[in-house]
Amino acid sequence: MSNLNNSTSNLNQILLLGDEVVRAFLSVTPCVIFLFVNGVMIFTLRKKTVFQETSRYILFGHMLWVDTLNLFMSVVLFMCATSRVSIMKNVCLFLLVAATTLFHVSTLNLALMSLERYVAICFPLRHANITTYGRTHMAIGVVWAISLIKSLSEITVFYVTDLTNTPMNVFCSRTTLLRLQVFKNLNIAFTCIFFVSVGFVVIFTYSSIAIVAKSASSDKVSAKKANKTVLLHLMQLCFGAASILVGVIQDVIYVHADFVTSVRVMYFCFVVFQIFPRCLSPLIYGLRDQAFSYLFKYYFTFGLKKKNSCHAETH
251 pLDDT tier (thresholds 50, 70, 90) = low
Find the domain containing 144 and state its range: 56-281
How big is the chain, counted in residues? 315
Q: Point out the least confidently predicted range of 66-80, 122-136, 245-259.
A: 245-259
Mean pLDDT of 234-262: 66
Q: How many domains does the chain have?
A: 1
Which pLDDT score, from 0 to 100, does residue 141 have?
A: 94
Q: Does residue 206 form part of some domain?
A: yes
Which pLDDT score, from 0 to 100, does residue 21 have?
A: 64
Q: Does residue 11 form part of some domain?
A: no
Q: Does residue 315 form part of some domain?
A: no
Which pLDDT score, from 0 to 100, does residue 174 have?
A: 76
Decide: 128 and 210 in contact? Cβ < 8 Å. Answer: no
What are the CA-CA distances from residue 40 to residues 45, 66, 88, 169, 300 (Å)?
A: 9, 15, 35, 39, 6
Model confidence over 185-225: pLDDT tens digits? 888 888 788 888 888 888 888 888 888 777 755 566 666 77
Q: Does residue 10 form part of some domain?
A: no
What lies within 8 Å, CB to CB, of 314 at 6+ separation is none
Model confidence over 87-127: pLDDT tens digits? 788 888 888 888 888 888 988 888 898 888 888 888 888 88
Q: Does residue 176 form part of some domain?
A: yes
CATH number (domain holding residue 65):
1.20.1070.10
Which residue has better confidence, 178 or 248? Answer: 178
Q: Does residue 307 form part of some domain?
A: no
Give the DSSP per-residue string, 286-313. HHTSHHHHHHHHHHHTTTHHHHHHHHHH
Which pLDDT score, from 0 to 100, does residue 138 have?
A: 94
Q: Does residue 303 form part of some domain?
A: no
Which pLDDT score, from 0 to 100, does residue 4 have?
A: 45
Q: Does residue 217 form part of some domain?
A: yes
pTM: predicted TM-score of the whole model, two decimal places? 0.78
Distance CA 172, CA 89 (A): 8
